[in-house]
Amino acid sequence: MSLTPALQARRASLAIFALAAGGFAIGTTEFAIMGLLQEMVLDLGISVPAGGHVISAYAVGVVVGAPILAALGARIPRKTLALGLMVLFSVGNLSSFFAPDYNWLLATRFLSGLPHGAFFGVAAVIAASLVAPTRRARAISMVMLGLSIANVVGVPFATWLGQQAGWRWMFVMVSAIGVLTVALVARYVPHQATHPEASIRRELSALRRIQVWLALLVGTVGFGGFFAVYAYISPTMTNVAGFDASLLPLIVGLYGLGQVAGNIIGGRLADRSVMGSIYGILLGTAVILAAYAWLVQYKTGALALVFLVGAIGSMLVPPLQTRLLDAAPGAQSLASSLNHSALNMANALGALLGGLVIAWGWGYRSPAVVGAVLALLGLGIALLSGWLDRKSPQAPAPSAAHAHPVPSK
């Protein structure tokens, strides 16, 4: 019996919610450890820079794991792949709880990061396949919404839990959310048969496409501007804006609310025009970061810009994810997964360049100027990508994301 449109929409919403739960777990473990850094280094008897390597180990896991696991999972049904990745994520986080020393913790954090990008990649492909083509970016943004909400709810709660019960208990909480995600995905995400031509070679074919590399470069460079500011938000708010350190959790929460708003808006803009939204968001990023460098010295201006920085940064993710799906129609899982490798490289690039200008004595407002320049460079790359599209238009290939609609019962 065929499903009514209303019932089909409800099933799609439940499936997307299940995938977003995984995003919530991933966002919580990625960022909560930063708020528990001091507790971790004291317990392990290591330096703060060594504690920072624990954060870096997770990011390296994301960069390495995204393309490898996506390619290896080419012939695995998408639902099965998503379940396997979330099981690996849960095991990795639980193993961090039991890590007996610093070196084991480094290894378990690397392990936890491996499924991060691949999960978001396959989740984006699944979500896009459950809705009409004109609502793909909105569906992807709803999956990414779990990551944004984690910054508002999951990270503050996990930080509080770690402070009260011990920093390791954050990993138990995240692992439990991962197990819940496994149950939700198993229950609500429909089975989708593997594409008959799916293979590792087919997935790796995405790496031969110039538009895939340009989209990844847009993410690495353009999104690097956002991270150049966010990496140093704490000292900027206290030393430049003049806020008491006790207010930082509220300020970071305001940034998280901006992320939620931006993620929703970005999905809707991308459904109207993928490349047009990328152009506009990158230009808006440059303007907002330039305004941040000027207005952050005033408390009201600082609060407004913190929200706007969070919003404009998150707006870019859904159109970039959708662009990668379009750029590699025969290798969508790998291309989509690579977006998260690019965003983690953006994190490293922005933090590095922002730290350099601070070390040169240019002050805590200077990373925002660097960020504005990076956003403009990202815009230039996006314009080049759009120009190449217009110069060599290609007939759109059938999208693998729409090859498997929600099955009827």
Q: Which of 198, 226, 241 is the C-terminal boundary of a domain?
A: 198
Tell whether 225 and 183 lie within a shared domain: no
Q: Residue 304: inside a domain, yes or no?
A: yes
Q: What is the DSSP letter of 363?
A: -
- 150 lies in the same domain as 217: no
- Sorted by sequence, the CB contacts under 8 Å of residue 151 that are 6+ apart come out as 27, 31, 252, 253, 255, 256, 259
Q: Residues 16, 97: one domain?
A: yes
pLDDT band at 270 (very low <50, low <70, confident <90, very high): very high
In Å, how far from its chain's centre is CA 8? 28
Say yes or no: 191 and 222 in one domain: no
Query: Residue 4: pLDDT band by 50, 70, 90 thresholds?
Result: low
| Dihedral angle sign, alpha carbons of residues 98, 39, 259, 110 | negative
Q: How many CB atoms lie under 10 A from the CB of residue 394?
A: 7
What tokens appear for 375 in the block?
Answer: 């956003």
- When divided into structural domains, the chain yields a total of 2
Report the chain's C-alpha Rg in angstroms. Answer: 20
CA 46/CA 365 separation, integer angstroms: 30
Domain boundary among 198, 232, 265: 198
Using pLDDT thresholds of 50, 70 and 90, give the confidence band for residue 1.
Answer: very low
pLDDT at residue number 395: 42
Please compute the mean of the pLDDT values over residues 261-266 and round it to a whole number: 92
Q: 82-96, 138-152, 326-340 — which one is most confidently predicted on average?
A: 82-96
Residue 326: name the closest of 406, 218, 222, 206 by CA.
Answer: 206
Is pLDDT at 402 greater than 50 in this prediction? no
SS3 118: helix
Percent of the chain with pLDDT over 70: 89
Domain of residue 33, CATH code:
1.20.1250.20
405 falls within a domain: no
DSSP labels, 180-244: HHHHHHHHHSPP-PPPTT--HHHHHGGGG-HHHHHHHHHHHHHHHHHHHHHTTHHHHHHHTS---
pLDDT by residue (tens digit) across 293-319? 999 999 999 999 999 999 998 899 889
Rounded Cα distance between 276 and 269, Å, is 8
Mean predicted confidence (pLDDT) in 344-348: 80
Q: What pLDDT was estimated at residue 347?
A: 77
3-state secondary structure of 36: coil
What percent of the chain shows pLDDT beyond 90? 39
Residue 334 confidence (pLDDT): 76
Residue 165: CB atoms within 10 Å: 12
Instruction: Specify whether 110 is located in the same domain as 158.
Output: yes
Q: What is the extent of the structural domain holding 130?
A: 1-198
Residues 6+ apart with CB under 8 A from 279: 379, 382, 383, 386
Helix (H, G, I), strand (E, B) or coil at 295: helix
> Is residue 402 domain-resident?
no
Is 397 contained in some domain?
no
Ramachandran sector of residue 237 (left: φ over 0; alpha: ψ -120 to 50; beta: rest): alpha
- Domain assignment of residue 4, yes or no: yes
- Give residue 239's pLDDT: 87
| 306 and 191 inside one domain | no
Residues 365 and 222 in one domain: yes
Please give the single-letter amino acid code of residue 239: N
Q: Which residue would you say has higher pLDDT here, 8 or 106?
A: 106
pLDDT of 187: 94
The residue type at 356:
L
For residue 401, pLDDT beyond 50? no
Residue 368 lies in a domain: yes
pLDDT at 391: 83
Mean pLDDT comparison of 79-88, 161-170, 221-230, 324-333, highest-scoring range? 79-88
| Mean pLDDT in residue range 73-88 | 90
- Tell me the pLDDT band of 5, cut-offs 50, 70 and 90: low
User: pLDDT tens digit string along 178-210?
Assistant: 999 999 999 999 987 666 555 556 666 667 788
pLDDT, one tens digit per residue, over 207-235 is 778 888 999 999 999 888 887 887 788 78
pLDDT > 80? residue 93? yes
Q: What pTM was estimated for this model as a whole?
A: 0.78
Of the two residues 263 and 1, the one the predictor is more confident about is: 263
Q: Is the pLDDT of residue 269 over 90?
A: yes
Instruction: Answer yes or no: do 176 and 214 share one domain.
Output: no
Q: Is the pLDDT of residue 396 over 60?
A: no
Q: What is the pLDDT of residue 205?
A: 64
Instruction: Identify whether residues 60 and 125 lie together within a single domain.
Output: yes
Domain termination site, one of 150, 175, 198: 198
Q: Is the pLDDT of residue 9 over 50?
A: yes
Give the number of other Cβ atoms within 10 Å of residue 103's Cβ: 9
Per-chain mean pLDDT for the chain: 85
Give a yes or no: residue 366 inside a domain: yes
Is 326 a member of any domain? yes
- Based on the fold, state whether residues 191 and 266 are members of the same structural domain: no
Task: Indicate whether 224 and 172 sit together in one domain.
Answer: no
Say if CB 116 and CB 30 are below 8 A apart: yes
Per-residue pLDDT band at 112 (split at 50, 70, 90)? very high
Looking up tokens 């207005």, which residue turns up? 295
pLDDT, tens digit, 9 for 90 and up, residues 23-39: 999 989 987 887 777 78
Residues 161 and 217 in one domain: no
